[in-house]
Structures are given as structure tokens and as C-alpha cells.
Amino acid sequence: MARTCLAVVLAAGDATRMKSSKSKVLHEIGNWPIISHVAQAASRAGVGKLALVVGRDADEVIDAASAGQQIPVHPVEQKERKGTGHAVLMARDIIAEGYDDVVVLYGDAPLIDPESLIAATQKRAEGADVVVLGFRAADPSGYGRLIERDGQLVAIREHKECSAYELAIDFCNGGIITFSGAEAVSLLEAIGNDNAKGEYYLTDIVEIARARGLKCVAIEAPEADMMGCNTRAELAEIEAEWQARARHRAMLSGVTMIDPQSVFLSHDTELARDVLIEPQVWFGPGVTVGEGAVIQGFSHLEGASVGAGASIGPFARLRPGAELAQKAKVGNFCEIKKARIGAGAKVNHLTYIGDAEIGANANIGAGTVTCNYDGQNKHLTQIGAGAFIGSNSSLVAPVSIGAGAYVGSGSVVTMDVPDDGLAIARARQDTKPGRAKRLREKIAAIKAARQ
């Protein structure tokens, strides 16, 4: 964007209707705070600075808006709630620094498309002084209407103030307004509060601008882009829309999802082409999946890296720090935490691998546990390339199993095993002929006596 642009993001509202102990803009969509999505959209649209109007949970809101953004975020506090016009005016000093465009965004509307913001600034560049984003509503009841005449916007009319003619209009106010930076402070200061609530409404800026001979226009964007979050039900609706968009983008990039609606993605999920995702898979933050990997059903991944051609699940859990090299396999009912699984290594069944390094082509038998915690500290288990760990073994860390080594099934290994060594750490079997029959007879007699 060649023009200089300031975004004023309104994020001072309470969470009264959310019935929440935290600001509504801190609730998450795609495992990321709502306000972070808004700030990211502004950044992608080419905004040069972000003025963040804060109130409740100010420090947390500022941190969330700043996280991962390339543009400076300047917070301003709104101590009193006197309407949207009053809220924007809290950023008066920043607006007065001088920008071609000032765009007002809402901190609880995370679905706004950067392209819509760019379209608004283009309209400004073409000569419009005020640009309002609107949408066509299938049911416009309750929405403010955008009143147009001869191709220009003449007013934003609240639903309850509309005439019968105006109520038939389906072009509704989306709330997002872009206006001339040179006129911004003067327009905002002219907004009055002569209304039932005694509040300063940003929507009045259109009629104020028109009275000054300034040009106002409205442009259309999808209704979903304007969705704001005031209740938990609306939060769920926005999540569903965001997930649908994220899944669609992933599939267009070459990812196969057998049942897309059952797959949950995070804002930073990275899926390479030819990845196959089966039903009921959950991706938490910080997951990357390499080309051609398969994520089988009912698996849960968070903070994990999956190499090309690897296979996960079904019913597998990868926790933060799990790193799988190419063609590694983690099978059903396995959990991996802070562990590196080498190329071609197999962790197939009912196994916990935590704080560990597993060499290439090693085989970890069913029921194996790396005993990494002593009640105070975590310890490392190292398993060399090509090693074979028999089923139902417990590896008590810190311990090292050498390359090519074998551990007998049912072993409790407490000492290092050298390369190509064989470790058997279990009691010798003692078989008593006929003892089982006598034992059953004794148990039956006890039961009979009780009856």
C-alpha cells in the first residue's frame, strides 16, 4: 500500500454478554486471540501503524495484538464508555500525526479480509473522503442500513429509525469505516451525543461529512467478514466460519481431508501438499506436517513437527516438542512428548515416549514407557539407530540404549546398554506343575464358605 494508513482498533469493550472473566477480544479463534486476527488483517492490508483502544485487561490485549505483527502497536486507554465515536477520538494524538487514511476496525471481528481494507483505501485514492464497508443481508432485521443516492452514501440509519422504504434495503452497515486522515480529527470532534443514550456514534460521521461537501461511498464485502463476537454462541459461529475457510485453503493447496468438517486447525497449522488427514483430527498451535504424511483418525497434535511421509495414529497424541523425521511412524494409542523420532523409526502401539531421542529405524515395542520423571526433574532416554525395544519394557531415565541393541520384552532397564548389546532385566520364570489346579480349588472353597 503506497498510501500511509493508520488503523484504529476498538478493543475496550467489556465481556458482559459473553459472561466471561476476561475481555472478549482475548477469546480465541483457531487457538489465537480474536484481537490477534484483527491486527494481522491490518498488517496484511499494509497498515503502517495500529492505535489500539483498550480498557479491560489492557496489558493482555496489548500483548495479544502485538504478537507476531510487523507493525507498531500504540495503546490508548478509554476510561469511560461513551460510544464508538468517543472511542476512536481516544486516539486523537496518533491520528493527528498525519495519515492519508484512517481505518476504524473492531477488535471483536476477526474475519475481516485484508482485501476489503485495501479496496476501501483504493476508493479513498480515487477521491472518496469516507468509505464504509457494508454487506447484503438475507435478513437485515436489526442492522443499520446504508442509504445511498446517485452512487453516494448519504446516511447510515439505525434499524429502529428507518422509514418503511428504508427497512426494505438489504445493504447493511458492517461498522468498518475508512476516512481521510486530513479530515479525521475535525470530523470526529463534530460528532454529537444528542440521542437517547447520550453516546457519540461513529456512524454520524457520514452525515457530518456530507454536510461539509465531502464524498461518502459504501463498498460491499461478504457478510461473514463483518461478524462480531458478543456471545459464546457467536464465538462458536465465528470459529466454524474460520475453520471452514482454513480447511478450504488447505485443500486448495494440495491437502486431502476425508471428512473436512471433523478436522480442527489452528491459526499457524502448516500442511504440505499430499498430506492426508483422516476424520476427527485436532491440530493445536505450532504444528507442521511434511509432504505426503498421513494423520490417521482421532489423533491430537500440538507443538509438533511431522516429517515427510510419516504416519501418525489412529488415536495418537503428539505433545509439544515431538519431532518426527521422514517416514517415522507413531501408531495407535501412543503419546510422544519432547522427543525426536528418527527416520523410519516405529513407535507402534500403546507407548509413551517422553524426553527421548530415538535413532533411525529403531523399533519400539508395544507398551514401552520411557520413565522420564523422578518426581522433581525430567531425564533423557537415548535409543540408538536400529535398536529393538521389546514389548512392555520400562526404560528408567537417564539411560542410553546403543545402536543395534536389543531389550528383552518386559524388562525394566536402569543401566546403559552398549551398541549391539542384549539387555534382559526381568525375574526368571518359575513354573509350578499342578499348582494352578490346587489354587483354583482353594479359591472355590473360600467362596463357598462365604455363601
d(CA 197, CA 85): 13
Residues comprising the chain, all counted: 451
Give me the catalytic one of 74, 248, 267, 349: 349
d(CA 198, CA 191): 11
Planar angle of CA 354, 360, 364, nearest 5 degrees:
50
Q: Is 349 a catalytic residue?
A: yes
Set of cell numbers at residue 71: 507493525
R_g of the chain, CA atoms, integer Å: 31
The one-letter amino acid at 278: E
Q: Are strands 101-106 and 171-180 parallel, antiparallel or unpaired?
A: antiparallel
3-class SS of residue 131 = strand
- Between the alpha carbon of residue 377 and those of residues 203, 357, 358, 397, the distances in Å are 59, 17, 20, 11
Q: Which of 83, 67, 66, 84 is nearest to 75 (CA)?
A: 66
Sequence-ordered alpha helix ranges (H) in 105-226: 114-125, 164-167, 181-189, 205-211
Q: How far is CA 157 from CA 138, 187, 209, 252, in A?
A: 18, 18, 15, 40
What does the alpha-carbon distance between residue 145 and residue 134 come to, in Å, rounded to a whole number? 9
3-state secondary structure of 373: strand
Whole-angstrom distance, CA of residue 244 vs CA of residue 249: 9
DSSP string of 270-334, one letter each residue: EE-TT-EE-SS-EE-SS-EE-TT-EE-TT-EE-S-EE-TT-EE-SS-EE-TT-EE-TT-EEEET-
Q: Between β-strands 323-324 and 335-341, what pairing exists: parallel, antiparallel or unpaired? A: parallel
CA–CA distance, 292 with 62 (Å, rounded to integer): 39
Q: Show which residues are catalytic.
A: 349
